[in-house]
Amino acid sequence: MSGTNGHATNGSSAGLEREARAILCVILYARVSTQEQVEKGYSLAQQMEALREYAAREGYGVLEEVVDPGQSGASLERPGMDRVRDLVAAGGVSVVLAQDRDRFSREPAYTYLLRREFEEHGTALRALNDRGDDSPEGQLTDGILDQLAKYERAKIAERSRRGKIRKAREGKVIAGRMSRYGDAARYGYRFNEARDHLVVDEDKMSVVRRIFRMVGVEGMPIYAVKRALDAEGVSTATGKGKWAASVIRDIITADLYVPHPYRDVVGLVSPDVAATLEPEESYCLWTWGATRHTRRRVSELTPEGRVYRTRSKVSLKPEEDRIYVPVPSSPASRASGSSRPGRPSRTTARPRTPGVGSGSSRAASCTVGSAAGRCTPTPLRRSPASTGTFTTSARPSTKKGPSFAPRPARARLKSGSNSCGRR
């Protein structure tokens, strides 16, 4: 309806605005990064609920809802994000909407690249917690907030790291990723009620003793040990029915299963921790800070489609960065190894030298004393070509390059119109 001057009234103007907004097609995007959130599902559902309410309030048409469960924001190589980019490249998308800006990426540079990529297709990147607008001042405000959020995350990670170091120096173990499996810890041990000390699990420690005997005394290859344990239905520390050869290899090369006399352990721990030890007892060693883990998310195109993998690399840290925590030994562990004078020369992780896979590890070269009847492990020697850095991922090789690269334009998806019907 028009006014007497020929111009639209305020009511009709507002109606035109709502009509214009109604044709805006949006993609709702949600992401969580931890397996706990994936299993509980509360965070993804909460994000989507907030996005749906906002889209309905603004009169947007929802083209598609895309989720990335259990995906890190440190990389753009994610199935859900690739789907969003495909839809944007196909055209007809006005806005990609998320609850928080860090749902797109935790790295401000990646968010900037996404924004520029979407702008080429006439698509805006929006979050419910945006503080600015499209003006230079608004972009500056959002950029500052992104950097502050990145700084805060770095400070939280640093405080967490310092807390774990202090805990280890007090003679306490760090539960780490094993905390999701109840009281299960490294095989042969379990956590105490406070989850800061290891307690011997006698039933599983007997399996450890058997592994040492099969490899060191009977000369069985590691994969033969794996097949024997699988055939008998022996469960792993996490309750699985299938063993990994790398787990068996770690067991026979770890200080956690080799008892050391009191006189050797006191030189590796703080005086306060040493005061809690019994001189007549022997102790195994749990190590904190022996390795540095780096992970990178990559994707590659295969005949079956795009495949996502995590490339992991483990490097040994200097000896002075490691913290040893004494844990109780048991008859099983004392039968599986022997104490050695001086500082342990092995580490809790070791480069995968060619001989290890075939069982020529320290347990494979054990000698059985005629009097004591125990397996005396020989330390594994590093090959001359070893650099001290190795890759733990056994997945196929993937494409090289940075975790983000501008993507080529996609062919437009067949569509009869720019309506917001779900695809």
Name the CA dihedral angle for 258, 259, 262, 265, rounded to a multiple of 10 degrees: 20
Q: In this predicted structure, what is the pLDDT of residue 373? A: 35
Partnered with residue 189 across adjacent β-strands are 200
Position 238, amino acid: T
H runs (alpha helix) in 184-341? 202-212, 222-232, 245-253, 262-265, 271-274, 331-336
Q: For position 223, what pLDDT does the model report? A: 94
Which residues have C-beta within 8 Å of that of residue 181, sequence separation ≥ 6? 237, 238, 239
Cα–Cα–Cα angle for 163, 165, 168, rounded to 5 degrees = 110
- pLDDT at residue number 31: 92
Distance CA 382, CA 355 (A): 10
Looking at residue 182, its pLDDT comes to 58
Among residues 230, 237, 98, the alpha carbon closest in space to that of 181 is found at: 237
pLDDT value, residue 28:
96
Which residue type, as a one-letter code, is found at position 186? R
Given this model, what pLDDT does residue 42 score?
A: 61
pLDDT at 410: 46
Taking alpha carbons only, the member of 377, 379, 382, 381 closest to residue 217 is: 377
Phi-psi region of 198 (alpha: psi -120 to 50; beta: other; left: phi over 0): beta
CA-closest candidate to residue 307, choices 410, 397, 404: 397
> Under a CB-based contact definition with an 8 Å cutoff, are residues 282 and 339 in contact?
yes
DSSP, collapsed to helix, strand or coil, labels residue 387 as: coil
Residues of the chain with CATH 3.40.50.1390: 10-130
Predicted local confidence at residue 39, as pLDDT = 56
Query: What pLDDT sits at residue 17?
Result: 52
Q: What angle do CA 272, 275, 277 make, to 5 degrees?
A: 125
| 142-150: long-range pairs with CB below 8 Å, 24+ | 142/101, 143/108, 145/101, 146/101, 146/102, 146/108, 146/111, 147/108, 149/101, 149/102, 150/106, 150/107, 150/108
Contact predicate 48/67, CB 8 Å:
yes
Of 52, 50, 49, 76, the C-alpha closest to 62 is 52
Low-confidence ranges of the chain (pLDDT < 50): 1-9, 12, 16, 19-22, 332-333, 337-406, 408-418
The domain made up of 10-130 has a fold known as: Rossmann fold (3.40.50)
